[in-house]
């Protein structure tokens, strides 16, 4: 069973997360929906739990099975993560040369001491005091440990119903920790990121089991599928705009779980739209989009800084965002900045197409060939592989 519609969702969510992080003073930046789009990280977690369960439930029956699964998952995420991490280092070297040795380069989130935690993908476990280097990669760290947890549960619980009972407990435990200890509501990352991921990942597992139960009961397609999908889209837009920075955000995995369940049936007009080739193309490259966008942002910021120096005109402005002061790129009318944001998204998509072709897929195949002793074709994306 394939879920091309969910691939389409994944591509759109990756673009919204990328746009959320782009700091340019325009209509996009201050749009409430865009400001809340960091919540789509929880959509990724739920979707990951859904499709990983679809692909592997009942297949992890022994330690070698679990080992192969974890190697494949590591091979899926680590090569591109490592390349994007290393790509930030020359930017810091340029910063050091540009400011003639003044404080700034290789400090704060770019401290050399945090390179190892990033390379070993443990930087969502509270070992760092802030987001470091390629900031979105904290969620890849959290997912990797969710995969380890899933494999252990499958090995120890054995029976599907017991795996699902364990999933309910783990999802509840993740929600309990985040609700009890996060000072940013669900927006925990480098500190409690693993628990945030547990909440969403195992919620996705539960959603998949509910989907299977519905199919087993004879529900092959939702009645009034088009209207239900439209209602889901409307609720997601309103929720994301309203839930940022408050306790409502804790419900994100629950809402996104419902959305995944509805769209997994692929019965409405919106499903048919999302299943079209452009959205599936974006979905296949969503991991690259997610991993390269911070690097593209850093390049845009450095270009703006160079232009400011060459032209003698300010290219940045300080603005209060979410009770904190943030430096935003600003050098023209609002429509100009909106155009810059769209150009940035186009750059992200273009770069992601390259990294998908020359880093992500070959890296995954080479990783599997070395550690599993088998070679996979580099051009064929795995439908159920999730970032």
* Residue 385 is assigned to a structural domain of this protein: no
- Which pLDDT band holds residue 1 (cuts at 50, 70, 90)? low
How far apart CA 18 and CA 102 sit, in angstroms, is 30
Give the domain range for residue 93: 4-372
CA distances from 353 to 93, 232, 283, 284 (A): 26, 30, 11, 10
* Residue 386 is assigned to a structural domain of this protein: no
171 close to 198: Cβ distance less than 8 angstroms: yes
* Residue 315 is assigned to a structural domain of this protein: yes
- The number of distinct structural domains making up the chain is 1
pLDDT > 90: percent of the chain:
77
Q: Is the pLDDT reported for residue 368 higher than 90?
A: no
Mean pLDDT of 115-139: 95
> What's the length of the chain?
387
* Residue 224 is assigned to a structural domain of this protein: yes
What does the pLDDT read at residue 187?
A: 95
- For 343, residues 6+ apart whose C-beta sits below 8 A from its C-beta are none
* Residue 383 is assigned to a structural domain of this protein: no
Helices (H) and strands (E) in the chain, counts: 16, 3
Mean pLDDT, all residues of the chain: 91
- H or E stretch at 324: strand 324-329
* Residue 377 is assigned to a structural domain of this protein: no
* Residue 384 is assigned to a structural domain of this protein: no
CA distances from 34 to 92, 97, 293, 317 (A): 29, 35, 15, 20
* Residue 323 is assigned to a structural domain of this protein: yes
Phi then psi dihedrals of residue 87, to 5 deg: -65, -25
**DSSP-derived secondary structure letter, 126:** T
Q: Is the pLDDT reported for residue 91 higher than 70?
A: yes
pLDDT digits (tens, 9 = 90+) for 167-198: 999 999 999 999 999 999 999 999 999 999 99
């Amino acid at each position: 069973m394939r879920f091309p519609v969910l691939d389409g969702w994944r591509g759109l969510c990756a673009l919204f997360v990328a746009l959320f992080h782009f700091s340019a003073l325009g209509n996009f930046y201050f749009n409430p929906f865009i400001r809340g789009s960091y919540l789509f990280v929880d959509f990724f977690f739920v979707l990951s739990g859904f499709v990983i369960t679809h692909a592997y439930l009942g297949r992890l029956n022994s330690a070698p099975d679990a080992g192969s699964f974890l190697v494949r998952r590591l091979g899926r995420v680590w090569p591109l993560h490592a390349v994007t991490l290393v790509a930030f280092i020359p930017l810091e070297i340029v910063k050091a040369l540009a400011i003639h040795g003044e404080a700034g380069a290789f400090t704060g989130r770019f401290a050399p001491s945090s390179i190892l935690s990033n390379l070993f993908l443990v930087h969502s476990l509270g070992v760092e005091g802030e987001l470091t280097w390629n900031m979105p990669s904290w969620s890849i760290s959290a997912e990797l440990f969710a995969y380890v947890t899933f494999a252990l549960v499958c090995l120890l619980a054995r029976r599907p119903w017991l795996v699902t009972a364990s999933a309910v407990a783990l999802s509840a435990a993740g929600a309990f920790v985040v609700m009890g200890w996060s000072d940013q509501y669900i927006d925990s990352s480098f500190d409690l990121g693993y628990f945030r991921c547990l909440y969403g990942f195992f919620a996705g597992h539960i959603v998949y089991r509910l989907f299977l139960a519905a199919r087993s009961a004879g529900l092959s397609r939702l009645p009034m599928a088009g209207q239900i999908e439209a209602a889901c889209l409307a609720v997601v837009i309103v929720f994301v705009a309203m839930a940022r920075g408050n306790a409502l955000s804790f419900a994100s995995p629950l809402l996104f779980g419902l959305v995944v369940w509805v769209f997994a049936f692929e019965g409405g007009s919106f499903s048919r739209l999302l299943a079209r080739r452009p959205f599936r193309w974006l979905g296949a490259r969503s991991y690259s989009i997610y991993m390269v966008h911070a690097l593209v942002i850093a390049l845009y910021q450095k270009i703006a800084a160079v232009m400011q120096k060459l032209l003698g005109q300010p290219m940045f402005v300080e603005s209060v965002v979410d009770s904190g002061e943030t430096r935003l790129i600003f050098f023209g009318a609002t429509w100009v900045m909106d155009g810059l944001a769209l150009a940035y998204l186009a750059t992200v998509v273009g770069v992601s197409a390259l990294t998908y072709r020359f880093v992500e897929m070959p890296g995954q195949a080479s990783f599997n060939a070395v550690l599993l002793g088998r070679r996979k074709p580099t051009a064929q994306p795995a439908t159920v592989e999730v970032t």
